[in-house]
Structure 1
Amino acid sequence: MAISGFLKSKIFPILLVNFIGILGYSIVIPILIFIVIDLGGNGFVYGILGAMYPFFQFIGAPILGGLSDKIGRKKVLIISQVGTFIAWLLFLLAFVLPKTTLWEQSTDVTGEYVMTLPLLVIFLARIFDGFTGGNVSVANAYLSDISTDEDRNKNFGLMGSSTSTGFVLGPALAGVLASTILGEVLPLLLAAIISLIAIIVINTRLKESNPCVVDTGDAGIKSFRRFFQVEHKDCYTKGEKMQIKESQKGFKTILKVPGVPILYSVYFLTFLAFSLFYAGLPIYANTILDWSASQLGIFLAYSSLIMIVVQGPILSRLSKKWSNYGLILVGSIFLSVSFLMLSSINILILYLACTLLSIGNGLMWPSFLALLAGTGNKSIQGKIQGYGNSMGSFASMLGLILGGILFESITTTIFTIGGFIFLLITIFLLINRLKAKNKPKEISERAVVS
């Protein structure tokens, strides 16, 4: 009965959408470095390619987030998934194109690489996917819409679990499928199919969460113009209308919301550290550790499996006893220690580091998202999430580019840099905690990250 009730709950469709999206994305992570090298690239090209998605997401996420406040979360999620589906088709197109050399380069900074036509098409695919990649911020805004103060932590913990489940199955599937006769093509084909399924699920299972937007989904999408119909119900108080008017001013207005600058700083630093990890780990696995795609897939799947356990039953219990601030602080400490251990070539130490990383991420990130979701009001939550996503995208862009370049010269030291970034976050939060104690009691947790 409990499972049946969960499947019928209002939160299940968005968890399913998030799971499907992450599954499609994570399938490619273990094999992308091998694809790039096979097509003429190197660590530098891999870093630049990885940066294309967050760079264009940095541009597109606030646009889609703000659009979701106006026309509804459901419509924007469909737009985003359609963009992802087209991007995967472009990715597959690269495998049927001839490996025509466009240019070659060999410098101390870039290393030696060859830019081929298929590699350029993959760049275009990642650019297109990034620009329409506001699905994460919109999904978080959707979850914020349907959550209350009582169940917000639990809901974002479940969202984290759905993300981790996708990351468990995705890399594991990639390792198995890439070893077949079709090689890397089969995982990419499955990613495209999964993206198409996500579009169908959003259109058929997801109900509009923004109560002040008319949902025309049940009537069918008869035209492009009808799809972008912007019509609001008269459901705002006078004060809320003033907030909506203010929110239309953009990023500067969002920064005036209490607590947002602090949260965005943590958002940026967290993504910067993790982007160094995601840039360095595949290169590290492919070169120094000499791992196969299957071994890297198993390593990432193990990490996500730990996070499922942490973000599910463990976080649900801890959130009743600990504040979001406390969970974020403990999580950042675990992450700092784990990153400092990742430079080892000992397999046991690497898996211990992976365990600590997964526990830390499982405690920190859902708790952080719950804080962000409780900031501001529903009428601007799409923009808050969108600009937050942009902060993460900008940090990812910097980290992936730097990670690809720096690994060529300092190798695993980039993990140490990531560890010090999380140490900086820990110190930053402790200082903020001390300052918060000197502020008036009426300042809420969402405003001072406590």
Structure 2
Amino acid sequence: MAIETADYEPQSRASLLPILSVNFVGTLGFSIVVPFMVFLVAQWGGNAIIYGALASTYSVFQLIGAPILGRWSDQVGRRKVLLLSQLGTMLSWIIFLTAFAMPASSLLDVDNALLGQFSLTLPLIILFLARAADGLTGGNVSVANAYLADITDDAHRTKDFGKMAMSTNAGFILGPALAGLLGATVFGEIVPVLAALAISIIASALILLGLKESHAEVLKSKPGLRNACKVFGQDTKEVYQLKGREETSNRDILRLPLMPALLTVNFLVMLGFSFFYIAFPVHAATQLSWTVTETGVFFAVLSLWMMIVQGPLLSRVSGLVPQNILLLVGGLILSLGFILLFWESSTAIYLAALLIAVGNGLMWPTFTAVLSEFAGRRLQGAVQGFASSLGAAASIFGLLAGGLLYNWAGAWVFPLAAVVIATAAMISVSFRRVNESGAEASSK
């Protein structure tokens, strides 16, 4: 395995701002369509199961693309892979826009006990193609996490990942709010999609002009990747050879301390949240009779509370409370929030949103920090890509199963999500040795 030196400048604490800005803008572009996607699916002939299948399409193709992009980021640098990922997102929004120009006449009508009643139309097919294109290049989250891991240190890791989560939730606050405002215009749902395209262009410009390479030691795994490096303009200069395997395998990742347990928690959290994300918009549109604006307000409020928790609250408690306790308490609070969604009163639902915000705000940034510690610097991109792929697998199953479960059992899907999250919280108790093992892993 050869090591190459990329164009690299030492990173300072101030360099958090560019990656946080990129993450915020990328999340904003994604979240702006969340409130009205379910309405578009219904308008073009779909039902809850089609909505779940559409959402899972992104995860199916992310499962293919994320590990490749993660390893490429170790080999050619984070910045170039982030730019490639964002250009893929831009292309997906262009494809998405063409759906509005197509007739919504039915190509296939389905009506049975298992799948329910829906019509397959050309706009729906185009939506599937758009989500596939975005998913295939959708490694931006894992690569952004790897970038942050490059420029942070052990003393600030949990706080910095909390700031990353804050930037994500800031995007989720503004995105749904903009969707509610823009979708209420006379031009309808096409305006938020145009806004998402514009935002993806801005994100690409931020990466190209404002983001410096963070990965000083770029790994060159094998000759077969030489052409891929040339595509990114990477100059190949072998410096010295390292003994050992020529490439990082999944088995190498699983041998890291506590990594199987960490990846299990990652899978379960993504599974539980997938049940929520697929079921709640359908629940809001059908059982609660919410409009696009009301759905947008809910997600904006939820994200605002998450940002508050992941900022001031997490910063205060991260140095005082052990990480495994934060994971346990956060997971149990999150589970309680999902249970409250079973009731249809506005009070219960917004109380649930508060608990979901507190629980997720404590649990997820802490988990990503722990995962980063155990990955170590050399395998950071590979581990983040592997975790994203596993999360994508959980999302694929969760989004498809969540659509089916809601079609059959309605709001009972929310208590089921609570059980899944509570299981992940119990497993996290085993991370009590995180500081010792994590410090050892990060030095490798």
TM-score (norm. length: structure 1): 0.90
Matched, 1:325 2:324: yes
Matched, 1:121 2:120: no
Whether the aligned pair in 2 keeps the contact of 1:280 and 1:403 (CA below 8 Å) is: yes
Whether the aligned pair in 1 keeps the contact of 2:49 and 2:400 (CA below 8 Å) is: yes
1:346 to partner: Cα distance: 0.8
Whether the aligned pair in 2 keeps the contact of 1:213 and 1:231 (CA below 8 Å) is: no
Corresponding residue for 2:353?
A: 354
Identity of aligned residues (%): 43
1:382-414 Cα distance to aligned partner (Å, 9 max, x none): 010000001111101111001111111100100
Corresponding residue for 2:151?
A: 146
Q: 1:247 to 1:28 in 2, by over 3 A?
A: farther
State the SS of the aligned residue for 1:321: coil
Corresponding residue for 1:3?
A: none
Corresponding residue for 1:301?
A: 300
Corresponding residue for 1:218?
A: none
Aligned-residue Cα RMSD (Å) equals: 2.1
Match of 1:68 among 50, 73, 78: 73
1:376 to partner: Cα distance: 3.0
Q: 1:97 to 1:185 in 2, by over 3 A?
A: same
Whether the aligned pair in 1 keeps the contact of 2:57 and 2:131 (CA below 8 Å) is: yes
Match of 2:236 among 226, 231, 237: 231
Corresponding residue for 1:33?
A: 38
What is the alpha-carbon distance in structure 2 between the residues aligned to residue 59 and residue 319 of structure 1? 34
What is the alpha-carbon distance in structure 1 between the residues aligned to residue 166 and residue 440 of structure 2? 23
1:443 to partner: Cα distance: 4.2
Write the letter of the residue equivalent to 2:153.
T
Q: 1:425 to 1:376 in 2, by over 3 A?
A: closer
Corresponding residue for 1:220?
A: none
1:163 to partner: Cα distance: 0.4
Q: Which runs of 5+ in 2 are unaligned?
A: 1-11, 220-227
State the SS of the aligned residue for 1:40: coil
1:327 to partner: Cα distance: 1.0
1:263-314 Cα distance to aligned partner (Å, 9 max, x none): 1000000000000000100110010000001001100100100011111111
State the SS of the aligned residue for 1:378: coil
Corresponding residue for 1:199?
A: 204
Residues matched between the structures, number: 422
Matched, 1:172 2:177: yes
What is the alpha-carbon distance in structure 2 between the residues aligned to residue 289 and residue 50 of structure 1? 21
What is the alpha-carbon distance in structure 2 between the residues aligned to residue 58 and residue 385 of structure 1? 12
1:305-326 Cα distance to aligned partner (Å, 9 max, x none): 0011111111111111012211
Match of 1:108 among 113, 119, 123: 113
Greater mean deviation of Cα atoms: 8-17 or 306-315? 8-17
Whether the aligned pair in 1 keeps the contact of 2:18 and 2:210 (CA below 8 Å) is: yes
Matched, 1:45 2:68: no
1:225 to partner: Cα distance: 3.9
Corresponding residue for 2:410?
A: 411
1:101 to partner: Cα distance: 2.2
Corresponding residue for 1:219?
A: none
Whether the aligned pair in 2 keeps the contact of 1:71 and 1:231 (CA below 8 Å) is: no
What is the alpha-carbon distance in structure 1 between the residues aligned to residue 25 and residue 230 of structure 2? 28
What is the alpha-carbon distance in structure 1 between the residues aligned to residue 438 and residue 88 of structure 2? 39
1:20-49 Cα distance to aligned partner (Å, 9 max, x none): 000000001100000000001111100100
Corresponding residue for 2:422?
A: 423
Corresponding residue for 2:254?
A: 255
State the SS of the aligned residue for 1:104: strand
Write the letter of the residue equivalent to 1:412.
A
What is the alpha-carbon distance in structure 1 between the residues aligned to residue 213 and residue 289 of structure 2? 48
1:109 to partner: Cα distance: 1.2
What is the alpha-carbon distance in structure 2 between the residues aligned to residue 14 and residue 288 of structure 1? 39
What is the alpha-carbon distance in structure 1 between the residues aligned to residue 229 and residue 94 of structure 2? 22
What is the alpha-carbon distance in structure 2 between the residues aligned to residue 413 and residue 47 of structure 1? 16
What is the alpha-carbon distance in structure 1 between the residues aligned to residue 437 and residue 305 of structure 2? 35
Whether the aligned pair in 2 keeps the contact of 1:247 and 1:380 (CA below 8 Å) is: no
Match of 2:103 among 75, 93, 98: 98
Write the letter of the residue equivalent to 2:374.
T
Q: 1:368 to 1:8 in 2, by over 3 A?
A: closer
Q: 1:444 to 1:148 in 2, by over 3 A?
A: closer
State the SS of the aligned residue for 1:55: helix
Greater mean deviation of Cα atoms: 151-160 or 225-234? 225-234
Whether the aligned pair in 1 keeps the contact of 2:374 and 2:438 (CA below 8 Å) is: no
1:208 to partner: Cα distance: 0.3
Q: 1:269 to 1:232 in 2, by over 3 A?
A: farther
Q: Which runs of 4+ in 1 moved over 3 A?
A: 223-226, 230-234, 441-447
Whether the aligned pair in 2 keeps the contact of 1:337 and 1:419 (CA below 8 Å) is: yes
What is the alpha-carbon distance in structure 2 between the residues aligned to residue 417 and residue 340 of structure 1? 8
Write the letter of the residue equivalent to 2:131.
R
Q: 1:320 to 1:59 in 2, by over 3 A?
A: same
Whether the aligned pair in 2 keeps the contact of 1:259 and 1:446 (CA below 8 Å) is: no
1:442 to partner: Cα distance: 5.7
What is the alpha-carbon distance in structure 2 between the residues aligned to residue 127 and residue 340 of structure 1? 32
TM-score (norm. length: structure 2): 0.91
State the SS of the aligned residue for 2:111: strand
State the SS of the aligned residue for 2:15: coil
What is the alpha-carbon distance in structure 2 between the residues aligned to residue 373 and residue 167 of structure 1? 23
1:246 to partner: Cα distance: 3.5
* Structure 1 segment 367-406 matched on structure 2, within 5 A: 367-406=366-405
Whether the aligned pair in 2 keeps the contact of 1:154 and 1:316 (CA below 8 Å) is: yes
1:232 to partner: Cα distance: 5.8
Corresponding residue for 1:344?
A: 343
State the SS of the aligned residue for 1:180: coil
Matched, 1:276 2:275: yes
Whether the aligned pair in 1 keeps the contact of 2:13 and 2:152 (CA below 8 Å) is: no
Whether the aligned pair in 2 keeps the contact of 1:52 and 1:126 (CA below 8 Å) is: yes
